[in-house]
Amino acid sequence: KNFRKSLDTLGIETAGEISYRDHYNFSVKDVKEIEKKFEESNAEIILTTEKDFVKIEKICSKEFSDKLYVLKI
C-alpha cells in the first residue's frame, strides 16, 4: 500500500500493476510473468521497491534488469 500511495503522491502514472505480499520470494515463473505483462503494456520501465529489486535482480536476465528501477519509500 505504501508503494502505491507513493506513486500517487508523486503523480506517477502506471501502465499496469502487479502486487505481491510483503516479504514475497519471487520465482523465475513470477519474473517471466512480470516480463510478459511489461512487454504487453508498452511501458518504458518497471518500477519496484528496493527490497523486491534485490530479489528480482538475482533471478532475471541482464536485459530485464536494465528495465528495473527502484522507488525508495
pTM: 0.82
CA distances from 13 to 18, 44, 65, 66 (A): 14, 12, 21, 20
| pLDDT tens digits, 9-66 | 999 999 999 999 989 999 999 999 999 999 999 899 999 999 999 999 999 998 899 9
pLDDT given for residue 29 in this prediction: 96
More confident residue, 1 or 36: 36
With beta carbons less than 8 A apart as the criterion, state whether 53 and 68 touch.
Answer: yes
pLDDT at 73: 80
